[in-house]
Amino acid sequence: MLQLNYSGFSLETGTDEAGRGCLAGPVTAAAIILPKDFENTILNDSKQLSEKTRALLKPIIEEQSLCFSVTHLFPDEIDEINILNASMKGMQECILKLSQVPEYIIVDGNRALNAKLGLKNTIGKQFSSAEIELLKSIPNTSIVKGDAKFLSIAAASVLAKTYRDEYMDQIHEEFPMYNWKKNKGYPTKEHREAIRKYGTTKYHRMSFRLLPDQLALEF
């Protein structure tokens, strides 16, 4: 059973991201603060849940949370600052968007949330010095496989995954030949064959190895 709290602070935020390994679409982050009496026996790492279960949990998580936020970072920004920095920046942006300032942050993974702040990006949000200082001031701990250990990180993973999937379903209508409604932009054989046949779109991450043989791509 997943634990509710790591730090002992009431306003503990869990944060996670989805879509890091995709060839197209945004990387999506979420952050959430759950109440001290929150309980849910179904909630788990979003990758361990079916699409139907994630859809069922999403409104429950949102309604019962003290606050939550979700952020998309799009391919042009991912290409500029790289996917690892984009994933961390997305979670940082989510923290800043919360309606309550966290007392403590737990993040899925092995990299501290404030490991890199104030990137010299020209695309997307640029942090002010006050925002950077705020992020630095909040203690945080990274937890490997935290989305399978703590409810708040699991809840953030569900929100990140469901919001990203909804976005991919929308852009599928614009470019149905890539079947993003099914593969969500991940590097499936079907997706890569579509890239080989139709080329790339504005939603593809051009810094990624889109095909095993890059020479097969026509821009």
β-strands 104-108, 140-143: how paired?
parallel
8 A C-beta contact, residue 19 and residue 164: yes
Name the phi and psi angles at 127, rounded to 5: -75, 140
Phi and psi angles of residue 105, each rounded to the nearest 5 degrees, phi first:
-125, 135
DSSP letter for 32, please.
E
Q: Which of 93, 104, 101 is nearest to 27 (CA)?
A: 93
* DSSP-assigned letters across all residues of 180-208: HHHHTT---HHHHHHHHHH---TTB-TTS
Is the separation of the CB atoms in 155 and 61 below 8 Å? yes
Q: Order the strands of the 67-73 sheet from edge to edge.
A: 67-73, 27-33, 12-18, 104-108, 140-143
pLDDT averaged per 10 residues in sequence order, the chain, 219 residues: 95 97 98 96 91 96 98 98 96 97 96 85 94 96 95 97 98 98 97 96 96 58
Which among 17, 25, 132 is positioned nearest to 70, based on CA atoms?
A: 17
Q: How confident is the model at residue 105, as a pLDDT?
A: 98
**Spatial contact of 25 and 13, defined as CB atoms under 8 Å apart:** no
What Å distances lie between residue 54 and 33, 182, 195, CA to CA? 18, 15, 29
- Give pLDDT, residue 214: 52
- Rounded to two decimals, the pTM is 0.94
pLDDT value of position 45 = 85
Pairing of strands 67-73, 27-33: antiparallel
Helix (H, G, I), strand (E, B) or coil at 179: coil
